[in-house]
Amino acid sequence: MDDLPLLRIVVDTNVVFEGLTKKGGASGLIIDDWLAELVVVCVSNTLAYEYDDVLSRKLSAARWCQLQPVLGQMLSIAQYTNIYFSWRPISPDAGDDLVIDCAMNAGAIVITSNIRDFQSAKESLGLQVMTPGQFVNLLTSGEKQ
């Protein structure tokens, strides 16, 4: 049995959307690992609201009705992180600042399909940022960071 602690991650909204709406792929595997509690997914209240807002706006009403319970299950097993300090604004996208604040306060890795908007936080704050593919490769390699 592996006694190493589970990796702590913050999942960007684009990864949640892709993981819930497309079959297969690295984002889908991350959602599967989240639901299986193979990683510790950290969220803040504002990030949870953003997931809900984006999915409810971008999906058809019928598809949202199907996925809303799945999102609810994901959020029920997530570790909620209080935001004691904010680094805003650091990203060109205000939504990404929510992810950065959560990751910095949780001591977690950011998983995003949009590395570019996190470059400044990576360089100035030392934030660890990975694409879904990079993270899945890390998980399958058996290494813990």
Asked whether the predicted pLDDT for residue 78 surpasses 70, the reply is yes
Let me know if residue 3 belongs to a domain: no
Let me know if residue 1 belongs to a domain: no
Quick one: pLDDT band at residue 91, thresholds 50, 70, 90? Answer: low
Let me know if residue 77 belongs to a domain: yes
Q: Which of these, 98, 102, 101, 132, lies nearest to 115 by C-alpha position?
A: 132
* Pair 111, 15: CB distance under 8 Å: yes
Let me know if residue 42 belongs to a domain: yes
> How crowded is the C-beta side of 107, counted as CA atoms within 13 Å?
3
Global pTM reads 0.91
Domain count within the chain: 1
Quick one: pLDDT band at residue 94, thresholds 50, 70, 90? Answer: low
pLDDT at 47: 95
Q: What percent of the chain has pLDDT over 70?
A: 88
* Pair 36, 139: CB distance under 8 Å: no
Range of the domain at 97: 8-140
Let me know if residue 145 belongs to a domain: no
Asked whether the predicted pLDDT for residue 142 surpasses 80, the reply is no
Q: What is the CATH number of the domain that holds 133?
A: 3.40.50.1010
* Mean pLDDT for the chain overall: 90
pLDDT at 15: 97
Tokens matching residue 117:
């908007």
pLDDT at 84: 87
CA distance 56 to 125: 32
Predicted confidence (pLDDT) per residue in 13-68, tens digit: 999 999 999 988 999 999 999 999 999 999 999 999 999 999 999 999 999 999 99
Q: What percent of the chain has pLDDT over 90?
A: 70
